[in-house]
Chain A
Amino acid sequence: MGEQLATADILQKYGTGAARAETPAQPWLESLRTGARERAAAAGLPTPKQESWKYTNLRPLEKLAFGPRSQDQIGIDRLPNLLPQGQSARRLVFVNGQFRADLSTRAALPEGVRAGSLANALAEDGAGLKDLLGRIANGDGEDQAMLDLNTAFVSDGLFLHVAVGVRIDLPIEVIYLGTAPREPQAFHPRCLIAMEENSSAIVVEHHAGIGGGAYFANHGCEARIGERAELRHYKVQAEADDAIHMANVHVEVGAGGVYDSFALTRGARLSRNEVRVRLEAPGAECHLNGVYMLRGDQHCDNTTAIEHLAPETSSREVFKGVLDDRARGVFQGKIVVHPKAQKSDGHQLSKALLLSDSAEMDAKPELEIYADDVKCSHGATAGDMDPDALFYLRARGIPEATARHMLIEAFLSDTINSLAAKGLCPALMSSVGHWLSDAATGDAP
């Protein structure tokens, strides 16, 4: 257990003081926050002594002294777009965790779709959210202190509700901007998604820093995917260099439902994506994929836990990473097949390319199986790029640097190109290209 903090200290250290002011007083919401705050204070920050935090140390976070939320409206000249104009159903922009209507688009959405700010939804229909918020992501389970910290300050973030049978083809684009021009900032956006039966939606999250500075983005997300519903949840994390990014995603998938997630990580000095999926009914399916590209002293941790609770559920997981300089990649994947989940199918793969002698990769792919009629497998590799492939390209007159870039792109591209939402692949591949060209211009330390 980490150092225990008094509840008041938690409020002071990580709170922004603004959480309560923004949303109207609602007793259930207040007790949700208080409960989480007390749990977070009792547990303290996770430390490497805890098994699920073995490879990730939050000391850099402890060292930050957060200032009060800056009250000035931050001017944004240019939004870091991921999707071309007109390619998204709606664009929602959050700056330091707060919704900015002035930067967001208000294009009409199909009937039955609500996509907007959680704070607004709480203000308009607080009682309606009572049974949704904090139900799936409720702090149960091991080492959920970061989620509790998020819940303690829950106020704003994405709220998406898709009614029975409604399918939206264009993605909902969510841009989270972080900035801390003067003092370090902490914010705790919360995303709440409810997909009803037979519905389908694509959510694309883009996390970026503007103007640099040290900030702590502690995201929480919970999604309920109903029968035969589909949620494609993609994320590009390109936070500022000094940022700390944490994301706790909790998902429940109903019969025949699909949760498809992809995370591209290239920003933040310290980041962790923790995804917990419960496949609750027969036929539920999830795909958790990701790529990460790190250099300097960056640290990225991808931790996933998939629980097969019902028969004939399936999961697929592929994470690939490229590590340069002193970067450290962590992959902890766990598949649990419960006794009733016969005929389940789970596959997991972690691959890492180490480009420098000081880079480090720690992988812990874990299977926990209590049913016999299952097919589960996992694999993990780490190492340098194939010298034969490099030689092949060099022999054809391609300079070494270019050849290495080609091989890295090829290594990452098959995960990216396996995305179901094909329209997004070019944007993701160009993100890989940017990362590679940063190295070429000597941007790396």
Chain B
Amino acid sequence: MAANVETLEQVQAVTEKYKYGFVTDIETETAPKGLSEDIVRFISHKKNEPEWLLAWRLKAYRHWLTMPEPQWAHVDFPPLDYQDSYYYSAPKSKTDGPKSLEEVDPELLKTYEKLGIPLKEQEMLAGVAVDAVFDSVSVATTFKGKLEEQGIIFCPISEAVQNHPELVRQYLGSVVPAADNKHACLNSAVFTDGSFVYIPKGVRCPMELSTYFRINAANTGQFERTLIIADAGSYVSYLEGCTAPMRDEHQLHAAVVELVALDDAEIKYSTVQNWYPGDENGVGGIYNFVTKRGACRGHNSKISWTQVETGSAITWKYPSCILQGDNSVGEFYSVAITNNMQQADTGTKMIHLGKNTRSRIVSKGISAGRSQQTYRGLVKISPKAQGARNHTQCDSLLIGDLCGAHTVPYIECRNRGAVVEHEATTSKISEDQLFYCRQRGISQEDAVALVVNGFCREVLQQLPMEFAVEAQKLVGISLEGSVG
């Protein structure tokens, strides 16, 4: 009896800790549970997709069936039951289609407010256009008019399929092929929504584009597909942030992000990932299996990935750059924090194909509790990449003696004119620094947050302003309970 009360209290304590853990009650239109060709057809039909896209999905689905689960990552979880999940759900009001924010279901708006992204305020104050994905269907898109003036397309990908099929058909799957890996293949078969961005030649996108993904309806995995194309000489900065409500069952999140930068174009892609990480004992939490890849197709193009990964029970994510164009640049800045029973296997791939291509990798990993974290990266210099240059730095910080931090870089150099450098260090959080802070009356938890924020400063600085503030807070929240 006493044990029961204790358990109840513990559960409550945990629930309080995850402040974004809540479920919005909205009637959803849901496809039957499970995965089959019929479900793929159902999704395609719901989205009113052209024949070629359905064929593409089905081809991906059939190939997916033949693929084994990837086993190489340093993560451990029971086998996934793909049939025990819903692959499509949409807020019911979709058919009417909200014309303005006022028409949007107030329940939804409240959800966003709790997440700290009041659309109206953002529209007015921050100047950020938000394509908010609520489960699988986009419900509100703002600033569309302003962007349209410049010829910028920023819309849900399902809309892009209808309105700009030639662009979607040309680029979809051109960076991450349908059969790339098991999770990307599943996404290709059942992706429901996501963002589509096209920046025309010579246009500098006047605002940060941002989208908040949120898993809502219980037992729904989300399969977004994001496609960003920066045409010659253009620039865009794209933000992505996620929080997810509390749930006990494991949830699969298999997204695909494809970036294409043509001549002289630049794409900056920033992510703050704070999906539900599960409780202290590793129960629940999101499986975040994401394939992100950018192709620097044009000369002098640049793609920069910045990520702050604090959430998810399991993170499996390698934002990569294929540096095809001569003089193209790839960057990867990452902070990954794991606490309790979280597992993260993350890193990047820099594939140097063009001449004088440059890449820079800065990865900061912080492990606390009983978590396991791995940096896994590949730097590949092809024989034609004369003058290629790479510098990689990955540092790991360990808090507590039950966690693990691992570094697995692969370096393949096939050109003598290239310079490849890799450095990595692993160390404990400095007792001296903590003591210094404690002496000045700073609480242990604040001191840890301060030291860790200093450790990741180099990466956090890369984030756009709005995110940098949020990310710093997140660093502190994520490490709560890891010391003392």
A368 to B405, CA, bound (A): 6
In chain B, residues 418-464, which have Cβ atoms closer than 8 Å to a Cβ of chain A? 418-429
B414 with A360: CB separation less than 8 A: yes
B401 with A382: CB separation less than 8 A: no
Chain B interface mostly: strand
Q: A370-B404, A372-B403, A376-B425 are in contact. Are A364 and B409 (CB under 8 A)?
A: yes
B411 with A380: CB separation less than 8 A: yes
Closest A residue to B397 by beta carbon equals: A372
A440 to chain B, nearest CB (A): 19
Most buried by B among A51, A352, A363, A384: A363
Contact with A along B389-427 (1 / 0, CB 8 A): 000000010111111111111111111111111111111
A356 proximal to B (CB < 8 A): yes
A255 proximal to B (CB < 8 A): no
Instruction: Determine the chain B residues whose CB is within 8 A of the CB of A380 once the complex forms.
Output: 409, 411, 420-422
Instruction: Determine the chain B residues whose CB is within 8 A of the CB of A356 once the complex forms.
Output: 416
Contact with B along A184-214 (1 / 0, CB 8 A): 0000000000000000000000000000000
B476 proximal to A (CB < 8 A): no
Closest B residue to A368 by beta carbon equals: B406
Interface residue tally on B, bucketed by range: 35 or more
B383 proximal to A (CB < 8 A): yes
B416 with A355: CB separation less than 8 A: yes
B425 with A381: CB separation less than 8 A: no
A212 to B400, CA, bound (A): 57
B72 proximal to A (CB < 8 A): yes
A414 to B274, CA, bound (A): 48
A362 to B410, CA, bound (A): 7
Neighbour of B406 across the interface among A354, A369, A371, A382, CB < 8 A: A369
Neighbour of A369 across the interface among B381, B404, B413, CB < 8 A: B404
A370 to B407, CA, bound (A): 12
Instruction: Determine the chain A residues whose CB is within 8 A of the CB of B428 once the complex forms.
Output: 372-374
A364 to B420, CA, bound (A): 13
Instruction: Determine the chain B residues whose CB is within 8 A of the CB of A371 once the complex forms.
Output: 398, 401
A365 with B409: CB separation less than 8 A: yes
A250 to chain B, nearest CB (A): 23
Most buried by A among B399, B412, B413, B427: B413
A358 to B415, CA, bound (A): 7
A356 to B418, CA, bound (A): 11
A100 proximal to B (CB < 8 A): no
Instruction: Determine the chain B residues whose CB is within 8 A of the CB of A369 once the complex forms.
Output: 396, 398, 404-406, 426
B385 to chain A, nearest CB (A): 11
Instruction: Determine the chain B residues whose CB is within 8 A of the CB of A4 once the complex forms.
Output: none
Closest B residue to A357 by beta carbon equals: B416
A379 to B424, CA, bound (A): 6
Most buried by A among B72, B415, B416: B416
A135 proximal to B (CB < 8 A): no
A378 proximal to B (CB < 8 A): yes
A298 to chain B, nearest CB (A): 16
B390 to chain A, nearest CB (A): 9
- B residues apposed to A, CB below 8 Å: 72, 381, 383, 396, 398-429
List 10 A-B residue pairs with CB atoms under 8 Å apart, sorted by A's residue number. A339-B401, A357-B417, A362-B410, A363-B412, A364-B409, A367-B408, A376-B427, A378-B423, A379-B424, A383-B413
- A residues apposed to B, CB below 8 Å: 51, 339, 342, 352, 354-384
Given contacts A362-B411, A370-B404, A371-B398, 13 further A-B contacts (CB under 8 A): A357-B416, A358-B383, A363-B410, A363-B422, A366-B407, A370-B403, A375-B427, A376-B426, A379-B422, A380-B411, A381-B421, A383-B420, A384-B417
